[in-house]
Chain A
């Protein structure tokens, strides 16, 4: 149980001009599950490894429970890590894998066996204790990797894309089990993933990174409803938000293909002083609807998922073709080639020429 703090932590790889992680500042509370999410190369894994002590920290500091661990080697940080490829010791049985760290600490065999059994019980691994990793399925190996981490009762759990190697169905199932386990154990956890759905469903808070720079750290709800910049807006939410470039012009109105987009009062007010230049309007597919009024266009593609459908509508905006994705509830009779209208039913997000959110 511990608090974790990144304080202006940076890592720049030798020979590289840009830092992999640039002055990262995050405070993580005791027992919190914080997700680091971002595209490839965003620095999320690097940040995790900096916390683990597997990456050198070039400047700034990292604290675990107010103790500066920046210069401590991994074994002195009282952390446990679950790797993407599980990193199970192939020559050892499951029980030996899980007991390895305890053995290094000099814990006597009886005690070790007890702790291993307890962890195995929590993860349903008891029947496999004497097997070697090569005789386990992917899902079982993943649980052994988890077991290896929880058996140590560390201060912090570090997880580097632990579910990425599972097939889709198992991934969804394990996701909930993992979140549940973390809540029960109450251990502070830092979790890295590239999958924003995973991030939003699991994290108490989510930190979005891009090119080594922290974009926003908030609860999933706030990330969804109040993305701080264009990048976060386009990254969070599935399917992605429609992002449309518009110049507000003299009258400070935003028109998408002739439709004057309705804005919340504080947004419209902020828009008046947001300066010249191209702004971006963000409209989520689930905040629009197909009907008889709104932007006119022609249906290009219809995706039927049974519980919902996604309709891609071609229209013209500022002389250029524009494709808008709209969500429809349940199954739809709309077909490719139909002429439809798209109306805006929910909040419109606006981002200024610098990509930052306009209005609060």
Chain B
């Protein structure tokens, strides 16, 4: 019964979305406050209905109601409660429902927190948001109904892909979807602004918090996904340039560009039509990601069970949303006008460079991701382009941006002083030279570049803070006062840049200084890797809730005595008839010891793979610092309060 209730709620939500997509637009055009106000109520109503639908599906999963097709296909009564719960979004139908839930949540947030927006503008934003909602609700109800019943119900479910039965992956989709869908708000703001034909500073200021929130979610979601790939897939790597990874990385690159160009649009009215375009592109890339994952055009480890009919539907959605927005852009954007001119060496210039690099990098990833698809269109088969392409194109592209990253924030608006900025960065330059020198001492040129860049960016962020606080040049009381009044956005930006430095250091060190050892071991054998001695003590059969596993005991010896134990597993999930490897990782936060076991061979012994991955944890620590920086920025008073205040001061900005 609750299942039908959920289905009904979803259908009602579609009805509300249709109303919200049409009436408020009409109201805004004709100046009818009642119709404009309607949008806020329907937005809240949609969220409530989506929550009811999501709750109903969740209940079906928790109570293992196998008369529901999606539950029967993706769950199993023996599965632990956590994975029954996360199984709700571990498949195509349920993940769409999660997408809708978050989409309506953002709509409701615009309705609640958007009180400072002009009424007509808010109505238009919500109407565009509802158009997107209509598309996804119709898609779900017509092609991917999560509430469809099966009769007779099977005795038990088919289970969930064991690779997905993991706490890291349980929370990866919600965070990632928060990011994907959060970008829809920036998109709606852009389209609403194009409809009105005006983009002012206040607009840029309104767009930023939503983009920041989405960006924080994307950053955390991508990091969680790569962490999962690192410990669960057992390849010792953390990023594979897999199409699905790229699908989340492209919106991230575009959103990063958008965050930066919106600063220029807000502070200097520069790059306005460009910012609008980026807002459209960022969400379009989210939609493209959804298309790539769900249409079956690309092969991937993460791809959902796919169906060409669904592909056509998403492509249609993509065409309507992006195509429509870009038509509007081609028509209206030329009238937006250009901003205040600026010199190449200036804060705006630096932000523009950042944008050029990020967008080009994004295009490179897009090309690499779609190239196999292109071959497919030419009847040349499905292929994988793979890391050789991406490392050859992406890395050299991003390098100049990394170098400019420390300099940009030190430059003044409109006309900057490059020599002065570089002079003030002497400490960062010294650090970069030391980092690069240390890496060169090990004979690694690439590592020298990477570690040098990391030190340069990280120290650059610290120097920028010190400059703002006049640290070392003003009395302590003055520094303290400045620290208290420094805008949260400045703290956040510095933190985000610091996070990038940490990530760059982690990626560089783990790529250049990794040690790897593959060998067959018999009980009692030992091996040496990166100064550690590791002894294989044997393997035992263990029984989990819905799997059985071989668990090996590998002792890390210090002075001949066991100091710690690694216990990697090779699991067999009997319901799904699938093997998984569970890596054992021992981390010091400066390096990871990583062990995976393979099959047992009576003669040769058991295959054991050992890795020593220096600084690998920094990749995820850095990502957390970046996301935290975004949250700190988000708490800036200016973003919350000043937008409406500014509007009152300058009613004639347009």
Do A and B assemble together? no
